[in-house]
Each structure stands twice: as C-alpha cells, then as structure tokens.
Chains A and B, each alone.
Chain A
Amino acid sequence: MSSDIILQVSGLKVSRGGTPVLDIPELSIRNGEFLSIIGPNGTGKSTLLLSLAGLMKRQGGTIIFHGKTVDNGAELLAFRRRLAMVFQEPLLFDSTVYDNVAAGLKIRRIKRTGIRSVIEENLALFGISHLSSRSARKISGGEAQRASLARAFATDPELIFLDEPFASLDPPTKESIIEDLGRAMHARHTTAVMATHDRMDALRLSRRIAVMGGGRIVQIGTPSEVMHQPVDETVAVFVGIETLLAGEVRGSSGGVLEVGVNHQSIYATGDFSPGERVTCFIRPESVMVFPPGHAADSSARNVFPGVVTKIQPIGLLFRVQIDCGFPITAHVTQMAMDDLHIEAGIRIIAVFKATAVHVIRAPNR
C-alpha cells in the first residue's frame, strides 16, 4: 500500500496571525489518483494545496514524497521540480504563448534546442498549437488557461495541483477544458489534487473527494460515499443533500431500519439500535414523484402522499418541496412537471428507496 502513496503529510498545521487556518493530522495522495478538495470558500482548500506543494510556511508537519521526507531547501527545490501548479488566474508571463509553455523547462536550464518538440507536444495536448507565437496578453481567458495547463504539463510533473482552475471560465469553455485535462491526465498518468468550490467539477474528474470545513478534512472518500453518505450535516448540505430529517430508530430487521419522523415511518438502511436519535439524509435526485394512485407498482419502500408547498426553477430542473407530514425536496424535470401538472397546492406522491436514505447518529446536543 505504501508504495502506492506518492505524497503524504502528517501533523500539518498552518496559522495566520496566530489563528489556526489548517489542521491536517494525516493525508495521503495515491499515485495516479485525482483527488478533489471541496468545501465552502475560506475553509482552507487553497492553503492545503499550497502546503502540499511546499509553497506555504507551516507551523508544523512533515511532507513525505515517495517515502522520503522533504526537508531542507535543496530537497524542497527538487520536490517542487517534480510538481506543477495551475491557479484560477492563468498567471501567464508577458511574452508569447510558446515562451510561457517553455518557462518551466527554461527554469530547469534545459537546453533550448531540446525543448521545441516538448513544447509543441504540450501545446497540441491542450489544442493551442495555433497560438504558439501569439502574445499571452492578447488571448482569451479560456486560451490563457489552456496555456497555463500546457505550461504545467510541459515539465512532465508527477503531481499537479489545481487551485480552482475552472472558476473563471464560461460553461462551454470549462467543459472542453475539463475534457482536455482528463485526457492529458490519462495520457501522462499524472496524479492530481484539485481544490474547487464546485462539487459538480469534482464529480467530473475525481477518484476521491475530500470535504473541508474550518481548516480540517471533515470527510474523505469516493465521490459516491461523499455524495450519498456524508458524515455530518455540514458535509450533507455542501454536497447537495436538501432533505435532512431528525428522527428516532423504532425498529431494525435484516439491515432495514424503521425511523420515526414526525409520526411517520421512513425505511432506511444502516446499523442502529431502536431508540437511537438519528438524522436521515435524502438526496433530491433520489426522490421520485407520481400523481396520486400511480405509485403502487414501485418497489420502493418509502411512499408518502403529500402536498406541493413550493416550486423553484434551478437550471433545467425544478426544486419541488413537498409536505408529507415532514418536509421533503425532489428535483423534477420540466417534462415531469408538465405531465403531472405540478403546481403549489396539488396533491402528489413522493417515493424513494430505503437505500437512498443515509442515516447518521444525531449529534449530541
């Protein structure tokens, strides 16, 4: 397992003006993985990234790269020369795109003659070969970010750190850059750590996701674990869970729990004893809606008639809030909205599987 780990930090502590801003007892980056660090703004994502890259003054902690502690200046420089970094802003130099992509190689004092093909290859990797001789000050934001990525990949780094790399891009540009980045990562077997406030971006690329809150990693796991099984309410809200219900376990048989919520019974999965206070998380995408009388053929364990209380458009979907004796939120397509004539005040049936309900022990008050 340890040979699998490219970078490991332990006891990492960073504070600013005496206030601790980062406290990471242990974090390992696996070789070849794409780890996303998500969390609200100001929770220390960028600080963590910079600390991992050895670019941040830290109050404590060790960085172990390929099993060796990165300590003094020379080791740190050698370490930094094995990694690359891309920021939200492209941060290009005031020269041509070609020279920008060449920057990392020039810093390493690699002979001018040897780098031409490397640069051309990386320009092509991000689809900007035609911009080679253009001034970096005269290209679009998307092109600039491509140049920044090409510059990062040109030194063939083992590890690449991405700090909100898509945050300033318009959606179509972002889509195509994410695609190119994914291809580049795959072609080069690069390990990546990305900080983002956008969970959807994280889902697009990641093998693992770490959720940060208050300078700590609150949860780390596969995208599915983080999205469906958040460890607490903060993570739940951040990963987009919109129904959070407090209840008490009434019974448990064969792995299926019966949780009492407001005199109703919700069926869920989990390992809890009757009488325990719990919180149930239900993703809005897991909730289906049917017109009254049409839900009988569903295999789902949870079927609740209710009344639509509120409708909000969210992009192409609609957020529909239903009162079933407890509040529950579903995301509904335009087509379903039309078919079911959904509007505030109508009766409707909300349906979700027992496996769609994630139960955690209620926090002690």
Chain B
Amino acid sequence: MELIIDGIKKAILLLVTFDREVLGITWLSLKVSGLATFISLFIGISLGTGVALTRFPGRRLVVSIINTGMGVPPVVVGLLVTIFLWRNGPFGMLELLYTPTAIVIAQAVIATPIVAGFSLASIQKLPEALRLQILALGATRLQMIWMLIKEAKLPLLAAAMAGFGGVISEVGASIMVGGNIMGYTRVLTTATVMETGRGNFDVAIALGVILLMVTFCINAVLTWIQQRERPR
C-alpha cells in the first residue's frame, strides 16, 4: 500500500517537475496510439461500413473474422508484425522494425478490427429504409455512406474510445516491434514493464498512474464530445 502511495507521489513529482524522459515517453505514447487509432478509424470505419452495406458471398465469414479480430491478443499481432518487418522478412527493406512506425502499424492492426466491429454494428443498427431515404433525397452513394456514418457518430465515438483505450494500454506488441528503446520507442506501458523488471516499483507505479490519467483525460474529452453532440 505504501508502495502505491509512493508511486502516486512519484508520478506527481515526475509530472510537476516536467521530467524530460517521462514527458517524452508520455508524448510518444499519445502520438503513437493516437495515430494508430486514427488510422484504425479510417480503415475500420471504411471496412465496417462497407461490410454493413453490401451483400456478397462469404460476408458471414468476413463478419466472423472481424469479430474474432476484436479479441486477437496484441502479442500475436506483435509477433506477426515482427516477422513481416524483419530485415529478411517481406517488408525488411522498409527498415521499420524497432521504430515508432512499427508500433503504430502493430497498434493500428490491433485497433482496426475493434473499430470495424463497432462500425459494422452501429451502421447495421440504423433503419434499413434510411439508406433508401437518403438516396431518394438525391444523394450519391458516397454521400449516402457519409450521411450514414454521421448518423452513427455517437457509437463511432465509442469505437474510437475503445480502439484508443485498447492500444495505449497494450504492451505485448509494442515491446516486440518497438523494442522499448530509450528515447525512441519506449512508451508508457513498455517503460512500466521495464521499471518493474528493474525493481523500481515506485517509478513503475508512477508510469501506471500517468497512463491512467492520460487515458482518463482522452476518454473524458471524447465522452464530453459525445454527450454534447447528443441534441437537447
């Protein structure tokens, strides 16, 4: 218990003294996970909406794959991305392994099925006739899709929150593809694991507390947007 209080004290200390390393790690976490979420929103919403709006053979299989993808362990993704990015792997020439970009890729792969699953469900929940109504208003197919996405914006914000929450708190893939390199690919979660390994429990707890605060703030902002968007 004393350890946790010490950790919280340490967290506050690290934050108020603008500890450069901790700020760097926090900023990298935000940047990497924010970007990964962003990419996953782009791909996931497109994919989820596409699957929700089209009928094709094998659609059930695709839906099952998306739903399974929502629960794939990050370390599995990490392993696959590592293998793909190895120097001697298929994308070795990009020299991406052990870079922040690699973490972004892995996290985007983790978050995309989550966002796609949420999008699929929320678009499917809209009334069937709404698509016809929008087309009858003179919309092109793209306009229709965009308007449907706008109609589903509240659940889609939830998708963004779920995706971001999933990746910023993820450690397995980040450590595998990023390598926890100081000042380069060390993010809050991998730093927490490392400090725990080093026995610096106070620092580990401090990093954990910072991670919690960051996720809380992001979700608070998104929730505020979501609730504000709800018309009076």
Contact = CB atoms under 8 A, between A and B. Distances in A.
B15 interface: no
Interface string A44-74: 0000001001010000000000000000000
A89 B129 contact: yes
B132 A85 contact: yes
Contact of B136 (A84, A94, A95): A84
B137 interface: yes
Nearest to A154: B137
A186 to B, nearest CB: 22
B137 to A, nearest CB: 4
Given A55-B136, A151-B137, A91 B231 contact: no
A93 B129 contact: no
Contacts of A155: 137-138
Interface stretch (B79-87, B139-147, B170-178, B189-197): B139-147
Contact of A81 (B133, B138, B151, B154): B138
Contact of A53 (B127, B136, B153): B136
B150 interface: yes
A57 B120 CA distance: 23
Contacts of B154: 94
Interface in B120-134: 127, 129-130, 132-133
Given A96-B231, A135-B231, A137-B231, A91 B129 contact: yes
A104 interface: yes
A344 interface: no
A85 B132 CA distance: 9
Nearest to A56: B132
B232 interface: yes
Nearest to B154: A94
B130 A108 contact: no
B135 interface: yes
A80 B133 CA distance: 11
Interface in A192-212: none
Interface in A94-108: 94-96, 103-104, 107-108
Contacts of B132: 50, 55, 85, 87
Interface residues of A, number: 27
B129 A104 contact: no
B136 A85 contact: yes
Interface in B142-194: 143, 147, 150-151, 153-154
A84 B140 contact: no
Interface string B40-77: 00000000000000000000000000000000000000
A67 B76 CA distance: 62
Contacts of B143: 107
Nearest to A79: B138
A138 B150 CA distance: 18
A80 B135 CA distance: 8
Contact of B147 (A53, A81, A93, A135): A93
Contacts of B232: 135, 138
A89 B133 CA distance: 10
Contacts of A53: 136
Contacts of A161: 136
A87 B140 contact: no
- For B129, B130, B143, B232, the residue with the greatest tally of chain A CB atoms inside 10 Å of its CB is B129
A317 to B, nearest CB: 36
Given A85-B133, A87-B133, A107-B143, A80 B231 contact: no
Closest 9 CB pairs of A and B: A135-B231, A85-B136, A81-B138, A91-B133, A104-B137, A107-B139, A107-B138, A87-B129, A55-B132
Interface of A: 50, 53, 55, 77, 80-81, 83-85, 87, 89, 91, 93-96, 103-104, 107-108, 135-138, 151, 155, 161
Given A94-B150, A137-B231, 19 more contacts: A53-B136, A55-B136, A77-B138, A77-B140, A80-B138, A85-B132, A85-B133, A85-B137, A87-B129, A87-B132, A87-B133, A94-B153, A94-B154, A96-B231, A103-B137, A104-B138, A107-B139, A107-B143, A135-B232
15 contacts: A50-B132, A83-B136, A85-B133, A85-B137, A87-B132, A87-B133, A91-B130, A93-B150, A94-B150, A94-B151, A96-B231, A107-B143, A135-B231, A136-B231, A155-B138
Interface of B: 127, 129-130, 132-133, 135-140, 143, 147, 150-151, 153-154, 231-232
